[in-house]
Amino acid sequence: MIKFEDVFFQYSSSKKTALSNINLEIKEGRWLSVLGKNGSGKSTLMKLIYGQNLATSGKVTFNNKEYNKELYDDIKNKIAIVFQNPDNQFVGSTVEEDIAFGLENKNLPRDEMEKIIGEVLDIVDMKNYRKFEPSSLSGGQKQRVAIASALALRPEVLILDEATSMLDPVARKSILGYIKKINREQKLTIISITHDAEESIYSDNIIILEKGTIVYNG
Binding site for ligand ADP (CB under 6 A): 11, 13-14, 18, 36, 38-44
DSSP, res 110 = H
What is the closest distance, in whole angstroms, from the C-beta atom of residue 48 to ligand ADP in the complex? 10
| Chain centre to alpha carbon of residue 133 | 24
Cα separation, 45 vs 42, whole angstroms: 5
Which residue lies nearer to ligand ADP by CB, 15 or 69?
A: 15
Cα separation, 16 vs 1, whole angstroms: 29
Which residue lies nearer to ligand ADP by CB, 10 or 205?
A: 10
Which residue lies nearer to ligand ADP by CB, 12 or 107?
A: 12
HEC letters along 10-79: CCCCCCCCCEEEEEEEECCCCEEEEEECCCCCHHHHHHHHHCCCCCCEEEEEECCEECCHHHHHHHHCCE
What is the closest distance, in whole angstroms, from the C-beta atom of residue 173 to ligand ADP in the complex? 24
What is the closest distance, in whole angstroms, from the C-beta atom of residue 33 to ligand ADP in the complex? 13
Cα separation, 199 vs 206, whole angstroms: 9
Which residue lies nearer to ligand ADP by CB, 42 or 172?
A: 42
What is the closest distance, in whole angstroms, from the C-beta atom of residue 9 to ligand ADP in the complex? 8
The helix/strand/coil state of 118 is helix
Residue 216: phi, psi to the nearest 5?
A: -145, 135
What is the closest distance, in whole angstroms, from the C-beta atom of residue 130 to ligand ADP in the complex? 35
Cα separation, 183 vs 190, whole angstroms: 7
Largest Cα span, the chain: 53
Which residue lies nearer to ligand ADP by CB, 50 or 178?
A: 50
What is the closest distance, in whole angstroms, from the C-beta atom of residue 54 to ligand ADP in the complex? 14
Which residue lies nearer to ligand ADP by CB, 24 or 151?
A: 24
